[in-house]
Structure 1
Amino acid sequence: MGIPQLLQNLEKIEKPKTKVYPKPSSSGDGAPYRPAAVIDGSALAHHIFNRYLKSLSKDERIPKVLGFDYSIYQKNVLNWLERLEVGFRIANIFIDGHLPSYKTSTRTSRIQTTISNLSRLRTLSPSLIDLTKVNWNPSPPFLIAAFSAAVKGHERFKDVIKTVAGEADAFCAAAAKAWKGGDRELMSVIFTGDSDLVVYPSASHTRVAMLDDVRFENDPIEGNKVKVVLWAPWDIERKLGGGSEEKEGMIMKFAWCIVLKDTFRAAKVVASGKGDILDKVTVGREFKEQYLLPDLERQDGEVELDGMLDSRAAEVVYASPRYRRLCHPPVGEKEDGVEVYLPVLLEDVTKSSAWSVGRETRRRAYRILFGNNATVVEVHRKGEAVNKSFVKSEKGDEGLRTGEDVGQGLNGFVIGIILEVVGDYLEKSIPITDIDVLALLAAVTTHPGISEASLPDVAASHWIWPRAHILSQLTAGIWSLYLLQTVASLPSLEVPSDTDEQFLTKLKGFPSLLEVIDTTRFMTIYAISPDRRGMSKNAKKRARKRAKVMEGQDTTGVSVQGIINRMFNRDVRPEVAAVLNAVGDMRRRVDEEDVEEEGEEGMDSYMGMTVG
């Protein structure tokens, strides 16, 4: 990220300095000196994920990436922060919570790139998903949420993380510039993956460190150390002749020349080490706006929003009339509707979007945030391209299913999502087996009947597109519930009078987003029944004639009851059976409707009269 070649060019003007912390106190008897650390949390979340990918072998890559274990990732996050804390005092961790309108084209381009990667992967591995055939790894949809949850659960770091109403970059720059360490100023270091953090206004004590340049070392005598490469924007600015009221933003002008590919001017600055040639450069308004600093004091009063974990959900909240005023840079109300960028999922591009699941749940959230009849534009995949769906925030409660009649051991909200997924397949006349339903139930059941260690390993051969797609549909539904839960938990919001308050109260107790889906348990169902190759792709005619699934027995001959006994706690087994019975009823209703349709097709019409 950042501006290509910016740091390489600035290095020729002012070289960064390599430092090691902590440093012994100058008096020799005090605490070691540790600069303050201001961290771009969104950048760090992806940095740690990418480091994790590099540690995987070729054989591990497919199951470990597709069956991503958030708990292992969270341990890596805390380990990284604790090691950094040895040399730095972590003061702030900021998470992106709102991206400005000038990022629209960039965001759309990134989504399209991901879809193109999915399409290429689908072409190269039409049955099994083989990541080794492409130089691309899908990012876990709840990565930022996992990062935030880990930090918020840590006793030392829980009070320094915040999801902000803007890009984390600007808030990092503002916090580092304003940092005061007790009676004297301490150095404040911004840890980021974006090179353009050196472009923001800075103070003499501000430094910028690229995450790739951080090294954790162990000295046999002095113990653990942190080695970093530090850029000093203040020093570079002055070397270019800036820093006075007459000449400000010289680094910004230099960066603007690089963006415009004004190679002659940029090369002359690099060669001379002076910024005189930049005096007449006029920076574009939109580019300059990116580097304005937010008012941190205005943000600090909104502690009620600290509970937001997911950046995409935070964006929806910050787009609402109640919280829009906090956004940096300021935003106005869009006449053509609020845009919501839904998380990119590992979908089968030959199927319809997974985001059709959970739409009524999201509609309810939009209605609370934006009022009745507001238009929300959802941006997501359709086919092999980025598409927009227009959702009216009108009353849609009748379309929600809770599944609370199956008992207390399973979460009724989640069961409602599973039944919605099943209904989506049946509506399209695509068979969905009891094994598929059991896999969905296993993914959302946190109390296994036996030790996880005794379960069969999930191999790369278990990951086929139909299973990945149905898991993405479940993910879409769970995320929609999380969005509604986030909205329902916000204070000072006027809930529509005809809203089911009891429903929202129950939803507030919904488990954490990351405690809901267990990918390993989902795929283990298929490991137990290895002959199953996912959902059939039979056409509608063949679907009408599909073989009946015997009670307690799947068409593969694998005992459904045996799988239930192996994967589920004794207390929830009757409820699992109840869900399968509910699915059976849904199948029978669809079959009866199909028979009626076939009967109607066989009738003849004569002069407006039905004969048959």
Structure 2
Amino acid sequence: MGILRLKQHLEPFLEAVCLHDRVHSTPGLATAQHVVIDGPSLVYHVYHRLLSWSHPDLCYPDIQPTCDEVSHGVMLFLLHLTSLGVTIEKVCFDGALPPLKQSTRLARLEKTRKRLEAFRISHSGCLSTSLVPERMTVNRWENVLQSRTLPANLALVPENHFIVPAVYEDLRHRWSKENILEALPVHSFLRVAANRLASLPWADVTIMVPGEADVYCAHFAKENDCLILTNDSDLLLYDIGSSGSVILVSSMSLAHTYPDNSITAQGICPNTVARRLGLESLIPLAFVLQSNPRIGMGELVRRSKIVDRAPDPPPGYSQFLKEYQTSPSILVDNIGKRYPQSLDTRVSEMVAQYLYPETYSHDASLSIYLVMLTEDPKRQCAWLQGRVIRVIGYSLFNLTQPIDKRHKYIIEHIRRGGRVTCDMIALDNQSSLSAEIQSLLDQLDVVQAKTGIEVDCPVFWRTFALYTIFGLQTTPKTPNLDQLKRLLAHGSMSNNLDWDDVHVLAQIQSVLYSLRILKQLLGISEFSDRQTTQVSAVLAHLPPLHVLMRSVHEMKKESAILPGKDAINQAILLWGGESSDDHGRRERSRVSAGGTQPLKSGDPRSTYHNPTATSRTWPVRPQNIFELLSNQ
């Protein structure tokens, strides 16, 4: 996660590096021919570089680089390295973080929450209009190798927290030779290199490691004599060999010397710098800096030498040192056979707590850290939508484990009001789980049967998400048919996108990602009964993440072509309902063991229901699609 200001202090020791094969090396410059890449670091670098190149007239959310754009950018980055003869040995992604990083990650979640809160305050009204010219957003990923400082006015733009799993998935499954050639401009010089690629050029080298990517990058680099591409200063502290070097991804840029088109960058050899400073390694320097981030370089070196040469280490130093002396629990070459490779990082981390409880379980409890959604921080956390679906996945996987490894609860780390907190959620037993799965199947059947939309279509899944959110929750703010049609087609319920729209979109993302969590946990569970087989069959059609999390302007583009337009018309107008702004109220009740219990709007239990156990009073004329669906 990096030591604050460490890279800044070491800037005088940076050396120029050229990423190229040795045959075409640049005189006077070190050459990087074999590299291992810190996956998340590269993804966020591409994201921020694309953000810096966004059209100045764009507003949020159109200015935010999408999962698809970042994925294109990473593809272009790797393809350019390949075209220069650079061998990409591994691209490592975090599969779990140790418990000792809990305070750091919670601090980062809180920082993200405060950033969203500040953005909400500074953008209290309309965020963007629906009339964004396509030229403002088309192919900005082509600028990924062009260096540019991020404008100060973009510092508060909320980050897209689904980009890392989207890129990981695409490197393994999407970016085939054919898809790469289709994505490249017709006259791109990279088409020559693309034509020489294997079918899925980066699928085998892209790995989800059972731990931090740092550890595996460092170990692989030392064992295979290759350089590390990252922006994470932590990698300067691991043992990467006497001549091992770290290349800062943020320093990489295209030289524009056609036909050479080489990439120049700046790198640092930690061992060389440590020797020049009179230290055994850079770990004492980082330890002192962590406690004194504003200290000057001269004083920093002086104190570091004291720590380095002290017969008895100062308090906390042994633990700090241990963090950077960790060895991989599985050899890199065996990871694909011994650790699941089909999971997103957050899901992988939960699974790691079962597989390696002594390493990744915190206080013997089961935890999952959900990303901070871009939502309205003044309203209830959007992650509450879809929780029932996630609990099905958690519970299914839990029941596949030996009895002594099972948990009764899982802790979800999410936003609650103005803070990040822990929600302890009970996991289902076999009987209650069966009822929840059947309820989910019923809901999916209703949406598919009543709309007729193919389950391969993204509009089907967004319609299901909206049905989940609004289906049993009629309030004065429930969208009418016209608003729902606009929401599915344009991502907003009126011409201007406001915070009501942002929050509904976040709730949609919550439901869709919850389905993805369920799909992934089903994929590595050993249940094979009728219900789980049916759910797995439906979820097999869930689109990849770069489609599932399409942005507002991508939804507009999708709805402008015939298949998307037809699907939206099916979702809204198939039942012959008329749009209306006049919404009545209706009471909802749920029969429980103790009798009839009203459910409050937003109660996660109100998302799913047993139709035979629910009593409803409907208006004479249904007012929106979800009343229509529920009334069938």
What are the Cα deviations for residues 2-42 of structure 1, in whole angstroms up to 9, with x where unaligned?
Answer: 22333444466xx33213242544999xxx97521111110
Q: Which runs of 5+ in 2 are unaligned?
A: 129-150, 176-199, 400-405, 590-597, 599-614, 618-632
1:287 aligns with 2:331: no
Name the residue aligned to 1:159. Answer: 204
Deviation at 1:177, TM superposition (A): 0.9
> Taking every aligned residue pair, what percent have the same amino acid on both sides?
21
* Aligned-partner SS, 1:60: coil
Instruction: Please give the alpha-carbon distance, in whole angstroms, between the structure 2 residues aligned to 1:177 and 1:345.
Output: 38
Instruction: Please give the alpha-carbon distance, in whole angstroms, between the structure 1 residues aligned to 2:308 and 2:570.
Output: 78
- TM-score, L = length of structure 2: 0.71
* Aligned-partner SS, 2:359: coil
Name the residue aligned to 2:547. Answer: 515
Name the residue aligned to 1:343. Answer: 371
Name the residue aligned to 1:434. Answer: 481
1:234 aligns with 2:271: yes
Name the residue aligned to 1:79. Answer: 76
2:123 to 122, 125, 131: 125
What are the Cα deviations for residues 553-580 of structure 1, in whole angstroms up to 9, with x where unaligned?
Answer: xxxxxxxxxx999884447744543478
* Aligned-partner SS, 2:267: strand
1:370 aligns with 2:408: no
Which deviates more, 275-284 or 82-91?
A: 275-284
Kindly report which structure 2 residues correspond to 1:422-571, keeping only aligned pairs within 5 A, or say none: 422-423=470-471, 425-426=473-474, 430-442=477-489, 462-490=496-524, 493-495=525-527, 500-520=532-552, 524=556, 568-570=564-566
One-letter identity of the residue aligned with 2:518: L
* Aligned-partner SS, 1:37: strand
Deviation at 1:429, TM superposition (A): 5.2
* Aligned-partner SS, 1:229: strand
One-letter identity of the residue aligned with 2:4: P
Instruction: Please give the alpha-carbon distance, in whole angstroms, between the structure 2 residues aligned to 1:134 and 1:571.
Output: 35
Which deviates more, 469-478 or 307-316?
A: 307-316
Q: How many residues align structurally?
A: 518
Name the residue aligned to 2:284. Answer: 253
One-letter identity of the residue aligned with 1:228: A
CA contact under 8 A between 1:443 and 1:518: conserved in structure 2? no
One-letter identity of the residue aligned with 1:54: S
Task: From the superposition, tell whether residues 499 and 389 of structure 1 become closer, same or farther in structure 2 (CA, over 3 Å).
Answer: farther
Kindly report which structure 2 residues correspond to 1:184-263, keeping only aligned pairs within 5 A, or say none: 186=225, 188-220=226-258, 223-239=260-276, 250-261=281-292
Deviation at 1:465, TM superposition (A): 0.5
CA contact under 8 A between 1:121 and 1:134: conserved in structure 2? no
1:397 aligns with 2:437: yes
Instruction: Please give the alpha-carbon distance, in whole angstroms, between the structure 1 residues aligned to 2:201 and 2:108.
Output: 35
CA contact under 8 A between 2:21 and 2:33: conserved in structure 1? no
One-letter identity of the residue aligned with 2:78: L
Name the residue aligned to 2:157. Answer: 137
CA contact under 8 A between 1:439 and 1:523: conserved in structure 2? no
1:35 aligns with 2:33: yes
What are the Cα deviations for residues 526-555 of structure 1, in whole angstroms up to 9, with x where unaligned?
Answer: x9xxxxxxxxxxxxxxxxxxxxxxxxxxxx
Instruction: Please give the alpha-carbon distance, in whole angstroms, between the structure 1 residues aligned to 2:392 and 2:578.
Output: 25
Task: From the superposition, tell whether residues 420 and 62 of structure 1 become closer, same or farther in structure 2 (CA, over 3 Å).
Answer: same
Name the residue aligned to 2:420. Answer: 386
Deviation at 1:143, TM superposition (A): 0.8
- TM-score, L = length of structure 1: 0.73
Task: From the superposition, tell whether residues 374 and 473 of structure 1 become closer, same or farther in structure 2 (CA, over 3 Å).
Answer: same
Task: From the superposition, tell whether residues 140 and 224 of structure 1 become closer, same or farther in structure 2 (CA, over 3 Å).
Answer: same
What are the Cα deviations for residues 435-491 of structure 1, in whole angstroms up to 9, with x where unaligned?
Answer: 3422454479xxxxxxxxxxxxx999722101111111000000001111111112x
Q: Which runs of 5+ in 1 are unaligned?
A: 180-185, 243-248, 445-457, 528-562, 598-612
Instruction: Please give the alpha-carbon distance, in whole angstroms, between the structure 1 residues aligned to 2:294 and 2:242.
Output: 29
Deviation at 1:285, TM superposition (A): 3.8
Task: From the superposition, tell whether residues 487 and 287 of structure 1 become closer, same or farther in structure 2 (CA, over 3 Å).
Answer: same
Kindly report which structure 2 residues correspond to 1:262-281, keeping only aligned pairs within 5 A, or say none: 267=298, 270=301, 278-280=309-311, 281=313
Instruction: Please give the alpha-carbon distance, in whole angstroms, between the structure 1 residues aligned to 2:418 and 2:80.
Output: 42
Name the residue aligned to 2:137. Answer: none
One-letter identity of the residue aligned with 1:417: A
* Aligned-partner SS, 2:536: helix
Instruction: Please give the alpha-carbon distance, in whole angstroms, between the structure 1 residues aligned to 2:379 and 2:304.
Output: 56
Name the residue aligned to 1:451. Answer: none
What are the Cα deviations for residues 329-362 of structure 1, in whole angstroms up to 9, with x where unaligned?
Answer: 9234644x31211121111122211111111110
Instruction: Please give the alpha-carbon distance, in whole angstroms, between the structure 1 residues aligned to 2:251 and 2:480.
Output: 50
Deviation at 1:76, TM superposition (A): 1.5
CA contact under 8 A between 2:55 and 2:63: conserved in structure 1? no
Instruction: Please give the alpha-carbon distance, in whole angstroms, between the structure 1 residues aligned to 2:236 and 2:374.
Output: 35
Which deviates more, 340-349 or 470-479?
A: 340-349
* Aligned-partner SS, 2:62: helix
Deviation at 1:302, TM superposition (A): 4.3
* CA RMSD, 1 decimal: 4.1
Task: From the superposition, tell whether residues 62 and 196 of structure 1 become closer, same or farther in structure 2 (CA, over 3 Å).
Answer: same
* Aligned-partner SS, 1:140: coil
Instruction: Please give the alpha-carbon distance, in whole angstroms, between the structure 1 residues aligned to 2:211 and 2:297.
Output: 30
What are the Cα deviations for residues 60-97 of structure 1, in whole angstroms up to 9, with x where unaligned?
Answer: 2424235x443333222111122233153111111122
One-letter identity of the residue aligned with 1:55: W
One-letter identity of the residue aligned with 2:3: I
CA contact under 8 A between 1:443 and 1:517: conserved in structure 2? no
Deviation at 1:279, TM superposition (A): 4.0
